[in-house]
Chains A and B, each alone.
Chain A
Amino acid sequence: MRAPLNLPRIVITGVGLTAPNGNSLPEFRRNLLAGVAGIEWLDVRYMGRLLAGVCHYDPLRYQKRKEVRVGTRAGSISIWCANEAITDSGIALAAFSRDRIGIYIGCTEHGNVETENEIFAISKFNYDTKYWSHYHNPRTVANNPAGEASLNLGITGPAYTIGAACAAGNLGLIHAAQMLRLGEVDLAICGGVSESIHTFGIFAGFKSQGALATHEVPAKASRPFDRARNGIVVSEGGCLYTLERLDDALARGARIYGEIAGYGVLSDASDYVLPNPVRQAECIRKSIAHAGLAPQGIHIVNTHATATPLGDVQECEAIRAVFGDGCPDTFINNTKSFIGHCMGAAGALELAGNLPSFEDLVVHPTINVDDLDPACALPGLVLNQPAKAGRVDTILNNSFGMLGINSTLIVRRFVA
């Protein structure tokens, strides 16, 4: 299935991000090529010191202290990323009707942090609910992260979140591309954010599931494809892009990072938690067909792999089913080995870390693979050191999530 040719082409013209190992694309990329991870110890309520990816951007660059106090961490991350993306794009917001700008932000979950905080607060008052904050509802509504960005920027167009578990970052981009193609908006600010490290529940849930990473050395904790991997490192983060129709971007002389080439979104319909490699392979194939490509035309596959023993093997099974041994120009990597699992931000951040490959023809590695699991030994897997590629014209980005939501996004090097 190919995208109808009369639909407008959609391009990426700006990137704003905060990751556990970088607060801008150049810093993030530099650390991905230098093997610098961003995992540290974090005190988690009720649970003690755990490994997490923590972001260290300066919220006060774009927010007043009161806005930080009243708002949420996810809102703050959205505001940071949106402002950074707009600055990076060179867009003058004054040139747009504010109601023609859309904000589409993927989230794995939202509201757990704020609810836990309030329950903890009223526990100090014998659980008397008269101490429950009047900010609880605006903080926990599912559109909060996008709404805070719209307030901060004075953007009056559609601003909402897209809940798609850990596939949500990709979904933010895909939904934005669709809205631009439909002519609903003229500029989209889109991607994904996560504040998940501030809720003990996500850590406790993964721990109960036997899927929370442990390691004595934080930087070594997230180790997809390694035989000694033992689970997920939970991280916060955000990455928002500016997307525009190609004609608009060209008209204003924009720098173009890449073009949305194709995507696939499918559901497993098979389990609450367990991935389904057959559906994952279907999703990857669908995206490749949507881009009008063959597997041989994909030059980087950025995996979703989260370092759970089963999940990594199953994604490798899906990739092997699509790419087999017949794709010598296809490199495969993983970004979570550096930054852990940024949940709703994962897809968007991991794509960003690979975008510079269009220019430098270097593929960032998967780090922490000291003993490659034979079940994950895919051809083209870039281990521990960056690889030089002959050409990088396409990046395929996998992001999968609980309840069986699968998303694959393909970005192409821009050629006029």
Chain B
Amino acid sequence: MTNDECKKAVLDIIADIAPDEDLSNVKPDVRLRDQLQLDSMDFLDIVMELRKRHGIEVPEADYVRLASLDSCAEYLTPKFNALAAKS
């Protein structure tokens, strides 16, 4: 999985948990909470959906790594690829 594919996977989740938001111009280097109406419960939803849809666990200590699309890609892409390598 590339970083861009990882960002798309995250955006797909956000599209479901924040269906009123316009996601067409999300800036990858800006904190998601600074450009979208996302609260702490929504971030728990992102974590839950990563677990449900992709089998990826994000420990609480790493939640900060999900702050922006860029940081998501940096943190999650290796996890996606590690899972893919296992299967």
Interface residues of A (CB under 8 A from B): 64-66, 69-70, 125, 130-131, 133-135
Contact = CB atoms under 8 A, between A and B. Distances in A.
Contacts of B84: none
B22 to A, nearest CB: 12
Q: Interface centre among A66, A69, A131, by most B CB within 10 Å?
A: A66
Interface in B16-60: 17-20, 37, 41, 44-45, 48, 51-52
A133 B47 CA distance: 11
A130 B44 CA distance: 12
A66 B48 contact: no
B20 A64 contact: yes
Contacts of A70: 41
Nearest 5 A-B pairs (CB), nearest first? Answer: A65-B19, A64-B20, A134-B44, A65-B20, A66-B20
B41 A66 contact: no
Contact of A131 (B19, B37, B51): B51
6 contacts: A65-B19, A66-B17, A70-B41, A125-B52, A134-B44, A135-B41
Interface residues of B, number: 11
Contacts of A125: 52
Nearest to A130: B51
Contacts of B45: 134
Contacts of A134: 41, 44-45, 48
A131 B44 contact: no
A160 B20 CA distance: 28
A32 to B, nearest CB: 36
A64 to B, nearest CB: 5
A151 to B, nearest CB: 13
A70 B41 CA distance: 10
A133 B18 CA distance: 16
Contacts of B18: 66
A134 B18 CA distance: 16
Contacts of B37: 66
Contact of B19 (A69, A130, A135): A69
